[in-house]
Amino acid sequence: MFADTIYILSYIFTIYSMYNFMTAFFDEVRTPKPVLILSYIMYPVILCTTYLAIDIPLVNLSSGLIAVFILTLNYKSSMKKRLVIDIFVTMLFVL
């Protein structure tokens, strides 16, 4: 129970780190600010819900990849760059 609480609270820092990565890799935002904020709020909600409800490592990894990819959709870029950054950032946060 304590470990789950720490896991959920750590996403406060994860959101900030994720935002820094996205602004470092992408130059221009293509969505309105409320959509951008909502997507950053939904990132930990998706991951925490998956972790607490299912808790299967492969499913958690898959939900992480999907959540990061959804964040990349907020920025102007090619699909290839989005996929590469998605995999890179997800692996960085997993390690």
Instruction: Give the largest CA-CA distance in the chain.
Output: 41
pLDDT value at residue 54? 92
Percentage of the chain beyond pLDDT 90 is 80
Q: What is the rounded average pLDDT for all residues in the chain?
A: 93
Mark out the alpha helices in 10-53 (DSSP H runs). 11-25, 33-53
pTM assigned to the model: 0.89
Q: Which residues contact 93 (CB under 8 A, 6 or more apart)?
A: 14, 17, 18, 64
Q: What is the mean pLDDT of residues 55-76?
A: 94
- The dihedral region occupied by 55, where left means phi > 0, alpha psi between -120 and 50, and beta the remainder, is left
Question: Given this model, what pLDDT does residue 95 score?
Answer: 61
Tell me: the pLDDT tens digits for 31-54?
Answer: 999 999 999 999 999 999 999 999
CA angle 77, 78, 81 (to 5 degrees): 90
Write the CA distances from 13 to 56, 62, 70, 88, integer angstroms: 23, 21, 19, 18
> What pLDDT is stored for residue 1 in this prediction?
81
pLDDT-derived band at 3, boundaries 50, 70, 90: confident
